[in-house]
Amino acid sequence: MAEDYVELIAELIETRGEARPVEIAERLGVKPPTVTKNISRLKAAGLVRREPYRAIFLTDAGQDLAEICRRRHRVVVAFLLSLGIDEETAERDAEGIEHHVSGTTLEAFERRLNQK
Amino acid sequence: MAEDYVELIAELIETRGEARPVEIAERLGVKPPTVTKNISRLKAAGLVRREPYRAIFLTDAGQDLAEICRRRHRVVVAFLLSLGIDEETAERDAEGIEHHVSGTTLEAFERRLNQK
DNA sequence: GTAAAAAGTTAGACATGGCTAACTTATCTA
DNA sequence: TAGATAAGTTAGCCATGTCTAACTTTTTAC
Ligand SMILES: [Mn+2]
Ligand SMILES: [Mn+2]
Ligand SMILES: [Mn+2]
Ligand SMILES: [Mn+2]
């Protein structure tokens, strides 16, 4: 959960200027109360900083995690695409697969991408 | 959860003759009460048949699912190995990845395996 | 500047999947 | 065949992640 959230928050800040619960809910396909609760957990975990009713920010730890996750996400999607999988499917599968790809496997994916 | 359980139950029946909670608990790294509870759920879902204190059997639906999962598991592991990943890591990563691999992606994996 | 709309939160429920402690049943062994 | 051991279950707890209904705060539009 945390991985998808920080990944998305970083992306929203980058593309929209700020991360709002309503956007997060839409993008993740969950309802606003779910986002509120999960953001609280991220805050408790030291990954985000935020005041009630205000936008959401990443802490340094959150930014670090987001960086790792976004990079990994990109690699997994690129790898699936390189196998001839359509974009829809690549994105959908990557969203789940990414959370189970070890550093070793990620490197293997990258190696394969570079040598083509 | 169901996928890992039926997969393992099928394997235990094949290699050990029967599937027992104590084995399942060890293999999945959970405690026996967790297995009891989850087997009840599988029974409610129509995937297994069983009497208290007796071995666990798969229903036809359970066997069908097990077949699909075992085949998919084998393909994912083989695919990771073909990327040069060590067996430990391939098995560990596959155990998570398999649940997020769509039919489309599985076919892409197989294609890649066959053409090498 | 107020009223309506949108966004966000709180409370409380539910399902899933873990655990420990205590108990029951089955199996083994002397 | 009893007693000990192993296996399995039950009860009750917890964390995670989802939801709806109702409420509060903020933003927008007039
Ligand atoms: Mn994801
Ligand atoms: Mn992702
Ligand atoms: Mn698995
Ligand atoms: Mn598996």
What are the pLDDT digits (tens) for B69-107?
Answer: 999 999 999 999 999 999 999 999 999 999 999 999 999
Domain of residue B96, residue span: 65-115
Shared domain for A79 and A52, answered yes or no, is: no
B57 bridge partner residues:
B49
Closest to B59 (Cα-Cα) out of B47, B45, B74, B72:
B47
Verdict on whether the full-model pTM lies above 0.85: yes
Inform me whether the pLDDT recorded for B114 exceeds 90: yes
Domain containing residue A77: CATH number: 1.10.60.10
Residue that is last in its domain, among B44, B59, B74: B59
Task: Give Cα B53 to chain centroid, integer Å.
Answer: 22
Residue B103 confidence (pLDDT) = 97
Q: State the average pLDDT for chain B.
A: 97
The structural domain count of chain B equals: 2
d(CA A68, CA A99): 11
Partners of A88 on chain B (C-beta within 8 Å) are none
Shared domain for B44 and B76, answered yes or no, is: no
Shared domain for B51 and B92, answered yes or no, is: no
For chain A, first and last CA: distance in Å? Answer: 33
d(CA B33, CA B36): 5
Retrieve residue B72's tokens: 């998919």
Inform me whether the pLDDT recorded for B116 exceeds 90: no
Residues of chain A with pLDDT under 50: none
The contact set of A with B (CB < 8 A) is 80, 83-86, 89-90, 92-93, 95-97, 99-102, 104-105, 108-109, 111-112
d(CA B111, CA A62): 39
